[in-house]
Each structure stands twice: as structure tokens, then as C-alpha cells.
Amino acid sequence: MSTTFTVTRDQIIQLALRKLGVLELGDTPDAATIANASLALNLFIKQMATSGLKLWKVNELVLPLVAGQTSYVIGPASTGTVDLNTDKPFKVIQAWMRNITVTPSTDDVQIQLLSKQEYNMLGSKFSTGTPNSLYMDVRNTTSNVYLYVTPDSYTQSNLQLHFVVQQPMQDIMTAQAIPDFPTEWMNVLVWNLADQLAIEYSVPGNHRQEIALRAKMYKEELEGWDVESYSTFFMPDMRMGNPSSNNLP
């Protein structure tokens, strides 16, 4: 008995081609067909990052802070000079300051997450002290983290910035590569790859419609199931309120 079954990139491609009716059982697609389907599969995976929160790609990062440094570049070292070498984060979910002088640390302080507009409206961005707010600017290959206020020498010596982010799925560029997805998502990849390729292979309309419906259904089922198990509570942001409005009838 096992619970670790999975499939490789080329197996996904072969299954998708059979769904289209362009590959017989037992046949192997040629190199050009594999390359074209691999391109379509990787493009679809890149797009998937914008559709729902992929829980297995939510990671905690730790950023050492430097006194007098307001912004930090986070991304792969291959893109240039970075302050934290990791996959580019494109969504920050939670952040806190941790006192590293205490073991184990019991002194975590939440960091306020800001929008670009909120950050731009703040004054004295380069004043030094212990940061209490964070804004992340997502760029092409990296993301820039801006802190408010700028860390001072105490922060550098005693605190670390911890933050939870969503990061992209890994590319699958080789035949035996296993997609960066839990096993339950593999069928979604098969049917959606078939949907991506259907027009290229001039699949008849009724067959193409069936593939599109299945692709959409399987994807929506997984996105509805693969969510955080516990409740999230929302509260109004009183910073943006008008105190005088409390006196209105």
C-alpha cells in the first residue's frame, strides 16, 4: 500500500494528448510535440499562481535587518544583488518582529501590512527606530520590501523580520520532473493541458467543449477544497476613519 503516487511531466503530456484523441495508447509523442506541450503546461502553471492561494507555496521567510537600510530586495540571486536569496514572493500574508536575544523567543510583535498608497502617505520614512509596518512592491523578477520606520542599530542586533508569503510554483523543464503540486492536483493539470492544446489540434467542437467543462470543473473543485482550514476574522481599519463621524446622528 502507498499514498505517494505521482506523475512526471511527460506522463501528464501523454495523458493530455490521449484525452484529445491525438495519441494512441502505448504510443510516444515526438520531441517537437513534447516541447510544445511542455511550453503550454508551464505557461498554465504560471497563470495558476494568480488563481487562489496555493497553501503548499505559502512559506515563512526570515529577513535579517540592517541599521539604516529601509528597503530590501528579495528574489533569486541569479537576478542580481538581493538581500534574501529565495523565489520571488508575490503576496505577503502576515509579518512580525522576533526578538532573537531570547531563546525560545516569546516576544513576537505583529507588523502592520500596508498598501502602496498607505506607505506613500507616511512621513519621515527614513527616521530610525523599530519598524512597525511593511509594504511589499512586487516587480518582474524580485520583490522589494519597504519598512517603516527604518531599522536602527538596536533592531539590527536584537530583532529579525519574519513574514509569511506566497511564492510561485517551480518550472518543470525535464521529462522526469514532478510538478510542484500535491498529487491531488495532477488530474487538474492533465485536463487543463488538454484544454490548452485542443484548438491547436483542431479537436471537434463537442469534444473540445467536454474537455473545457471537465478542466474547469476539476480546477474549481480543487480551488474550493484547498483552502485554509480555520476561520479568518476581519476588523475595520480605524486609522482611515473620520473621528468626527461618531457624532453624526
What's the pLDDT tens digit per position in 187-196? Answer: 999 999 999 9
Asked whether residue 205 is domain-assigned, the answer is yes
Confidence bin at 232 (pLDDT 50/70/90): low
Asked whether residue 234 is domain-assigned, the answer is no
- The answer to whether residues 48 and 149 belong to one domain is no
Q: Is the pLDDT of residue 226 over 50?
A: yes
Q: Which domain holds residue 28?
A: 9-53+170-224
- The answer to whether residues 123 and 144 belong to one domain is yes
Q: How far apart are CA 67 and CA 160, in angstroms?
A: 12
Q: Are 90 and 166 in contact (CB under 8 A)?
A: yes
The three-state (H, E, C) secondary structure of 143-160, written as one string = EEEEEECEECHHHHHHEE
- DSSP states of 48-111: HTTSS--GGGEEEEEEE--TT--EEEEE-GGGS--SEESSPP-EEEEEEEEETTSSS---EEE-
Q: Is the pLDDT of residue 158 over 80?
A: yes
Asked whether residue 197 is domain-assigned, the answer is yes
Q: How far apart are CA 19 and CA 195, in angstroms?
A: 9
- The answer to whether residues 81 and 141 belong to one domain is yes
Mean of pLDDT over the chain = 89
Asked whether residue 240 is domain-assigned, the answer is no
Of the candidates 168, 194, 210, which is a domain's last residue?
A: 168
For the chain, what percent of residues have pLDDT higher than 90? 74
Residue 244's pLDDT is 46
Asked whether residue 145 is domain-assigned, the answer is yes
- The answer to whether residues 65 and 161 belong to one domain is yes
Residue 55's pLDDT is 83
Asked whether residue 231 is domain-assigned, the answer is no
Asked whether residue 27 is domain-assigned, the answer is yes
Of the candidates 168, 186, 211, which is a domain's last residue?
A: 168
- The answer to whether residues 65 and 123 belong to one domain is yes
Asked whether residue 204 is domain-assigned, the answer is yes
- The answer to whether residues 67 and 135 belong to one domain is yes
- The answer to whether residues 77 and 145 belong to one domain is yes
Residues 212-223 pLDDT 10s? 999 999 999 888
- The answer to whether residues 78 and 120 belong to one domain is yes
- The answer to whether residues 73 and 163 belong to one domain is yes
- The answer to whether residues 110 and 21 belong to one domain is no
Q: Are 175 and 41 in contact (CB under 8 A)?
A: no
Residue 227's pLDDT is 55
Give the number of domains in the chain.
2
